[in-house]
Amino acid sequence: MATPTEIKLHRERKLLEVAFDDGHSFELPAEYLRVESPSAEVQGHGPNERRIIAGRRHVGIMGLEPVGNYAVRLMFDDLHDTGIFSWDYLYELGRDRIKRWHAYLDALKAQGLSRDP
């Protein structure tokens, strides 16, 4: 398990920057983090319950708070704050960002949804 050595919230850029102890560093846009939230609202309670969250192009992150020594809870300006992002999940989101983002865009298109509110 990689552990963050630094987490920076860039509110004006709507971006979370996370550096890990293995040397990897990721810039994670707020919109991406919001639509990939580990919360039940997004992930559901099982593998077939995942929801596509539309209309979050302009979402920002208002704040974050540590959850023990293993995660961070993000508070988004659309008032979503129930996702607890473990270090492993943040790393996975950074590592797989391009693939996951394209899958999200494809799912939006398939459902006739938009990134715009």
pLDDT number for residue 50: 87
pLDDT number for residue 7: 97
Q: Closest Cα partner for 73 from 24, 48, 38, 106?
A: 38
Cα–Cα distance for residue pair 105/101, rounded to 1 Å:
6
Q: Assign residue 24 a region: left if phi > 0, alpha if psi is -120 to 50, beta otherwise? A: beta
- Is CATH 3.30.2020.30 the right assignment for the domain spanning 4-110? yes
The structural domains of the chain, with segments of one domain joined by +, span: 4-110
Contact 74, 83 (CB under 8 A): yes
Cα–Cα distance for residue pair 31/117, rounded to 1 Å:
12
pLDDT of the chain, 117 residues: tens digit per residue: 899 999 999 999 999 999 999 999 999 999 999 999 999 888 888 778 889 999 999 999 999 999 999 999 999 999 999 999 999 999 999 999 999 999 999 999 999 999 999
